Amino acid sequence: MESAMTWWLAQSRTTKILLIGAVSVLTIGCCLIFSAYNYVNAIWNEGLAQERQLTSQYLDNQNVLSAYISSFYEQIGLARAQSDVLDEILLDAVKGRYDEGGFAVDSPMFAAIVEAYPEAGVAELMENWGRIQGTISAGREGYRAVQSKLLDQLRAYDTWRQTGLIRRSIVRMLGFPSENLEARVGEMVFSGEMARMKMYQIVLTSEAIEAYETGVMDPLEVPSD
């Protein structure tokens, strides 16, 4: 009888130990799964926040550029609908093409504007040239700043995607760049990797692109119609 009781107690202790062990393993497993979920979820939320920031910044850059062009026409009292040639001159100005000539009345930029829109009248342009200089200069610096901001955000996003032995694998598994990253240009919408590549195509003059492609840069010339 005593032997049977001893055996039963031993079995009871063993069962209790096994149950405690099973509960401990289950608890640890649940904690690990919960921690892993939180880690992956945090990566997703961080990536989504960066993609929304990039999407918003890309649209804001276009808004800044559009506002700069509109303000130019307002300064000289012209209707918004103007020639493509004059628009191109303004874009070249904000991109720094006329840095060498400056804003003097006899500068290549002044001559290009007069040639592109002679109806405005040289006298009227000369009268308003001081205000126009400020508009162009401020627009150029403002747009240069937002383009630099976009590039810095892209750098931070790509660094985030590619660092961390474990995290970068999870980032790829989650599909970043995701469809939440969008680059809207008019009615066209690029998403994912195509959007990331499009955002890196910052606004540059054709001469700047050609100079980097060829390694040669010719002296700047005033654009013609």
In angstroms, rounded to a whole number, what is the distance separating the alpha carbons of residues 192 and 80? 34
CA distance 74 to 94: 16
Burial category of 53 from C-beta neighbours within 10 Å (exposed 0-12, middle 13-18, buried 19 and up): middle
- Asked if 44 contacts 174 with a C-beta cutoff of 8 angstroms, the reply is yes
Average pLDDT taken over every residue of the chain: 80
**Residue 81: predicted pLDDT:** 43
Paired tokens of 119: 């109806």
142 class by beta-carbon count within 10 Å (0-12 exposed, 13-18 middle, 19+ buried): middle
Q: Is residue 220 part of a domain?
A: no
**Dihedral sign of CA atoms 163, 29, 48, 194 in order:** positive
For residue 108, cis peptide bond before it (omega within 30 degrees of 0): no
Contacts 24+ apart (CB under 8 A), 69-74: 69/139, 71/135, 71/139, 72/132, 72/135, 72/136, 72/139
Query: Is 54 contained in some domain?
Result: yes
Amino acid 219: pLDDT: 55
Of 140 and 172, the one with more pLDDT: 172
222 domain residue, yes or no = no
Number of domains in the chain: 1
Question: Is 122 within a domain?
Answer: yes
The whole domain housing 13 covers 9-214
pLDDT-derived band at 224 (thresholds 50, 70, 90) equals very low
pLDDT at residue 222 greater than cutoff 50: no
Any domain includes 202: yes
Amino acid at 108: P
* Lowest-pLDDT choice from 112-121, 167-176, 216-225: 216-225
The answer to the question of residue 169 being in a domain is yes
Domain membership of residue 94 (yes or no) is yes
**Does the pLDDT value for residue 77 go beyond 70?**
no
Q: Is residue 101 part of a domain?
A: yes
Q: Does residue 146 surpass a pLDDT of 50?
A: yes
For the stretch 38-74, pLDDT in tens is: 999 999 999 999 999 999 999 999 888 888 877 777 7
d(CA 129, CA 116): 16
